[in-house]
Structures are given as structure tokens and as C-alpha cells.
């Protein structure tokens, strides 16, 4: 019987992409093993997981109420039903690994009931509630940030692995000057944009950000006056603005590797995946932390800010006026910043190797 690994996590790219990076590394090393993902029917995993050639299984989406409402009393029942679904999925698994998100709590509980080994990867500098719930049952915990280790309990013994990201993004950092210039040229040609103008890449996460979108739209005339062109991922469910000679709106960018490569500056939220990718591609960024949750996005950005690789601006301070009035300083920093030599980005290998060591060959 083949070894079977269950990957849990979904909702946003920040949960799905790291799981796919580890799964792809494992599939290359152990092509005879079985790999299945668990998610919900509304998350980004519905597109990305089948696209990568992996099986996607579903459990009900269970959202923990954050305020006292009648739904708080129904929540345990919903969690119990989802956990029972998780038990059926995990019964034949040799190991379960979770990356956070709505799918994880029922799967962690199911794996614990079945006494299956549980691995956890925490992408953010402040652990989310799903991974906090799973931590007491975990065989091994990996974290992307040192700060995620500075917690009580199991988090103190977590392994610092970094963030698993797509290999094609990592490869950007090792391209020769000639290959780098060629990749930039080809992407700008594909976008039908100028080779000679500064290019700003804007995105607000896989779902987009209305606040960032509005600020960029209100700044476009100034960008045009300054000879700056903008590539703007507005989010899948948001209306697509009209394109111009210097402005290219897109619903979603599939090939982020090439998009990063063509950009001279990035304006984005500071999700854990974005911060890790910016470190890999060595691009200066304006980061606007999403002001919800545990405040993890603000903490995620600290390392890049400390290294001079990013300017961090609070969401309520970021607007077109701020962007226009600070543009000369922003562009000056983006042009002058010298990134240190790229490190060894091997988070996928670290985690996948630990899985192989734990499960072994059957």
C-alpha cells in the first residue's frame, strides 16, 4: 500500500501556495506516494490545487465566531460534523500536514483522534487560531518567522524553516544579468508596456483590496505625468477598470514570477507569502498591512522594513495623497537600495525531508 500524505489548508494564496510548494517537492522526490489536499468549496484551492495536478477533497467551512452571537452555540456542532468528515479522509493517511486556514481545525482534530502524525507550518509571525488549535497535537511544527517561535508551549520548540515558495520565483534571484534583462523584456512585451518606463506592480492579495485599488486609481494621472506605468491586480471579484497606455489592470496574475521580474517597485499587502516572495525576488516594496486579525501582517513586514527593503505605511494612512507626496522619496529608495546576496531558500526541502524521515518508505 502506497504512502499517503494529506495536506490541509486553504482560502487564500498564503495558505495554498506554501502547501503546493512542499507537495511539489515531495512529488518529485517520491512520485509513487499519494498526495491529497483538503479544503473548502469556496477557497482559492479550488483553482490552484487541481491546476497543479493534485486531488482536492472537501470538508464544510467552519468559521469560528469572534463575537458573542447565536452562531457561537451552533459552531461546536458544525466543527463536530466537519471533524467527522476529516476522520473519513484521514483514516488511510500516514501523515497530515496543515498550513492554516478554515480546513485545518477539523483535519487536526481528526488526525489526533486517529493518532496520525501531524506536522504544522505557520506562515505568519503571529500564529493563527487554526494552527494554535492544532499545536498541542503536533508531532513537529515549522515556522516562517523567528517571531512565531517566541511564544509559549509548543511554539518554543518549532523549527525555523522559512516560507515554502514556488521554485520559479526562487530562480529569479540566480539569473544572470542577460537572462534577467531578457525575462523582463519578454514580460513587458506580453503586457504591451514600455521597456523604458519605471514599472510599478500593485496587488492586494488574491482577493484584491478595495482601499488600495481606489488609492491607485486616484494616483494614475500623477503616475502618467511622471512617466510611470502601473500593472495592477485588482482581485478576481472586483470590476476591471479601463486600461490605458500606462495602466494595465488585471483580475489576477497567474505568473507572479515573471510579474515580479518585470517590476521596479511593488505596492502590496504584507501577507507572509508576499514578504517571503519579495525577499526571494529582491524587490523594494511599499507594504500596507491589512489591519485585521492578530496584527500579523504588520509584524510580517518588520524584517523587510528593518533591512531597508520596504517602506511600511498603515492602512489608514495610505491614500493617493500620501503616495503622490512621497513618490520622489519612494522611487529614490527603490532605485538605490542594494539587496544583500540571496540566501538559500530551501523551506520546501526542509519540510518535505522531515516528512520523508518521519514516514519512511513502506
CATH code of the domain containing 278: 3.40.50.2000
Q: Which residues contact 73 (CB under 8 A, 6 or more apart)?
A: none
64 and 154 inside one domain: yes
State the pLDDT confidence band at 360, using cuts at 50, 70 and 90: confident
Question: Which strand ranges, in their side-by-side order, compose the sheet holding 95-98?
Answer: 55-58, 34-39, 4-8, 95-98, 118-122, 140-143, 159-160
State the pLDDT confidence band at 149, using cuts at 50, 70 and 90: low
Q: DSSP alpha helices (H): ranges in 192-287?
A: 210-225, 256-262, 272-281
CB 137 within 8 A of CB 108: yes
206 and 263 inside one domain: yes
For 131, the domain range is: 4-165+345-359
- pLDDT 10s digits, 76-110: 888 899 899 999 999 999 999 999 988 899 999 99
- pLDDT 10s digits, 306-323: 888 999 999 999 999 999
CB 128 within 8 A of CB 15: no
Residue 230 β-bridge partners:
200, 247
45 and 144 inside one domain: yes
- pLDDT 10s digits, 219-272: 999 999 999 999 999 988 888 899 999 999 999 888 898 999 999 999 999 988
215 and 313 inside one domain: yes
State the pLDDT confidence band at 190, using cuts at 50, 70 and 90: very high
State the pLDDT confidence band at 155, using cuts at 50, 70 and 90: confident
pLDDT, averaged across the chain: 88
User: Which pLDDT value is given to residue 71?
Assistant: 65
Whole-model pTM: value is 0.81
- pLDDT 10s digits, 38-81: 998 888 889 899 999 999 999 988 776 666 667 667 778 888 99
Q: Which residues contact 90 (CB under 8 A, 6 or more apart)?
A: 6, 96, 107, 110, 111, 114, 116
The C-alpha cell of 7 is what? 495536506
3-state SS class at 80 = helix
101 and 231 inside one domain: no
Amino acid at each position: 500500500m502506497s504512502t499517503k500524505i494529506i495536506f490541509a489548508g486553504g482560502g487564500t494564496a498564503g495558505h495554498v501556495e506554501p502547501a503546493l510548494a512542499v507537495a511539489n517537492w515531495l512529488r518529485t522526490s517520491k512520485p509513487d506516494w499519494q498526495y491529497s489536499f483538503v479544503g473548502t468549496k469556496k477557497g482559492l484551492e479550488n483553482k490552484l490545487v487541481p491546476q497543479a495536478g493534485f486531488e482536492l477533497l472537501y470538508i464544510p467551512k467552519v468559521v469560528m465566531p469572534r463575537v458573542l452571537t447565536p452562531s457561537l452555540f451552533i459552531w461546536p456542532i458544525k466543527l463536530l460534523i466537519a471533524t467527522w468528515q476529516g476522520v473519513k479522509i484521514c483514516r488511510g493517511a500516514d501523515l497530515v500536514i496543515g498550513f492554516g486556514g478554515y480546513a485545518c481545525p477539523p483535519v487536526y482534530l481528526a488526525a489526533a483522534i486517529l493518532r496520525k502524525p501531524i506536522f504544522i507550518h505557520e506562515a505568519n509571525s503571529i500564529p493563527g487560531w487554526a494552527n494554535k488549535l492544532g499545536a498541542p497535537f503536533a508531532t513537529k511544527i515549522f515556522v516562517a518567522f523567528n517571531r512565531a517561535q517566541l511564544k509559549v508551549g509548543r511554539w518554543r520548540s518549532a523549527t525555523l524553516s522559512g516560507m515554502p515558495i514556488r521554485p520559479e520565483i526562487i530562480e529569479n534571484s540566480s539569473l544572470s544579468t542577460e537572462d534577467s534583462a531578457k525575462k523582463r523584456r519578454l514580460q513587458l512585451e506580453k503586457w504591451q508596456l514600455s521597456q523604458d518606463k519605471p514599472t510599478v506592480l500593485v496587488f492586494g492579495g488574491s482577493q484584491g483590496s478595495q482601499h488600495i485599488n481606489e488609492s491607485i486609481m486616484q494616483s494614475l494621472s500623477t503616475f502618467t505625468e511622471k512617466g510611470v506605468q502601473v500593472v495592477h491586480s485588482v482581485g478576481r471579484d472586483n470590476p476591471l477598470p479601463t486600461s490605458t497606455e500606462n495602466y494595465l489592470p488585471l483580475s489576477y496574475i497567474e505568473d507572479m514570477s515573471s510579474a515580479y521580474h518585470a517590476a521596479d517597485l511593488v505596492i502590496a499587502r504584507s501577507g507572509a507569502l508576499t514578504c517571503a516572495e519579495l525577499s526571494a525576488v529582491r524587490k523594494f516594496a511599499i507594504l500596507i498591512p491589512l489591519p485585521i486579525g492578530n496584527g500579523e501582517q504588520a509584524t510580517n513586514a518588520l524584517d523587510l522594513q528593518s533591512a531597508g527593503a520596504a517602506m511600511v505605511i498603515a492602512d489608514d494612512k495610505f491614500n493617493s495623497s500620501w503616495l503622490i507626496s512621497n513618490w520622489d522619496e519612494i522611487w529614490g529608495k527603490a532605485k538605490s537600495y542594494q539587496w544583500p546576496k540571496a540566501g538559500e531558500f530551501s523551506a520546501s526541502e526542509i519540510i518535505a525531508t522531515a516528512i520523508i524521515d518521519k514516514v519512511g518508505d513502506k
